Chains A and B, each alone.
Chain A
Amino acid sequence: MLHDLLNALQETLFMVFTAGFFTFMIGLPLGVLLSVTRKGQFLANPFLNKIFGTFINAARSIPYIVFMVALIPLTRLIVGTGEGSIAAIVPLTLAAIPFFARLAETAIAEVPKGLIEAAQSVGASPKQIIYKVLIPEALPGIINGLTVTLVHLVGYSAMAGAIGGGGLGSLAIHKGYHAFQTNYIVATVVILICLVQMIQICGDYIVHGTLKRQ
C-alpha cells in the first residue's frame, strides 16, 4: 500500500507542478495582455481584449471533466497518447491557464495607475512598464494567484484519475472505491489535505517575503 501511495503521490506532484509551470509561463503573459489592453490602460485595445476575454470565459465555463474528455484528440496530437500522467498535463494546463490568467490580470490591474504615469514621465516604454513596474509591483498578487491555481490543479489532477491519468485520484477511485478498500481512500484524502496545506503554506511564505518591504 505504501508503495502504491508513494507512486501515486509522485504522479500527482509531477502532473500538478508540470502543469503549474506551463500555466505560469503562458498564463502570466496572457494576464498581462488582458490587463494592459483594458479600456483606459496604456495599451488599450478593446477589440483584442474582448476576443481574449470571451475565449477565456468560454474555456472557464466548461466543466473540467467534460473539458478533459473533449481534449483527448488534441492531447494525442501533442504527447502521442491519451492516457497516463503525461497526457493529463495537456488538459490540466489548458484548464488552468484561463483561471490563472484572470487572477494575474486582476493582480496587475490593481497596480495604481499613478505608478504607470510616473514611469511614463521618465520615458519608460510599454515593455519597460510591464517588466519594471507592473510585474514587480503585482508580484504578491500573482504569487497568491499561482498558489490558488496549484491547489485547483491538485483537485483537477484527481479528476484526471477518472480517465486513467494516474496519481492519487486514480488510486482512490480504483483501489479504494471500486475495490472497497476504505483505508486507501482515507490515506489518499489525508495525503491530499497535507499536499494542499503545503502548497498554501509555501505560497503564503513567499508572498510574505515579498510583502515584508510593505
Chain B
Amino acid sequence: MNIKKYIFVFLITTGIFAIAFIISNYINDRRYDVIKSTADKISIDILSLETQFELFQESSCDSLKNSILSDEINALADKLSYAENQRGINDADVITLKKYYSLLEIKDYLLMKKVDTKCDVNPIAILYFYTNEETCTDCTKQGYVLTKLRADHPELKVYSFDYDLKLNAIKTLTSIYKVPKELPAIVIDGKTYSKFQSVEDIQKIIPALVATSTATTTKNTLK
C-alpha cells in the first residue's frame, strides 16, 4: 500500500474543493455587485422621476406614466430573493440590500401616489408585510396568492416588506397603516387587512382584479 499516494490524492481532492469554494464565492460576490448596481440604477431613476415631478409644469402626465419603474423593481426583487435563498436570510450583505430595496419600494410607492393624484392614473397597489419566521405559514400562502395575482394582472403593483427588517422607514409605514404584529398583513387603498387573504378576498376588495385573468408575466414577491 502506497501511503504517499493516499496523501497525494487527499491533497488533490482538497485542492479541488478549495477551488470550487473560491469560484462559488467569487460568483456570489459578483452577484451582489449586480444587485447593488441594479439598485443604484433604480435609485437614480427614481431621483430622476422625482425631479421630473418637481418640474411637473414642464413635464406631461404621459411621460410620467410611461416612466414606470415597478418592472425593474420586481426584477430586483427576484434577484434579491434568489440571493436570500443562496446566502441565507441572516447574511449581512443580503440584509443591507433588502433595506435598500425596501426604501426603493417606498419611494416608488410614494411617487406612484403623487402621479396618481396629479394625473389620475388609478394604479392598483398592495403593500404586503410578512415575516421570514418559519411559524408564519400564512405568510407563505399569502406569497402564493400575491404572486398568482401579479402574474395574472401585470398592472398590479405589490410592494413587499419584511416586518422584521430593522428599518425605520418600514416602522413608520407600519405605524401609519397600523399594521398589527400578527402577520401576514396587506394594505389596500390605505386600509389594512390582517391575516391571510385569499385570491377571492382580494378580488372582493379590488374588483378590477376579477376582470382579466390572463397570465402574462412571472414575478415573485420576496416572500
Do A and B pair up? The answer is: no
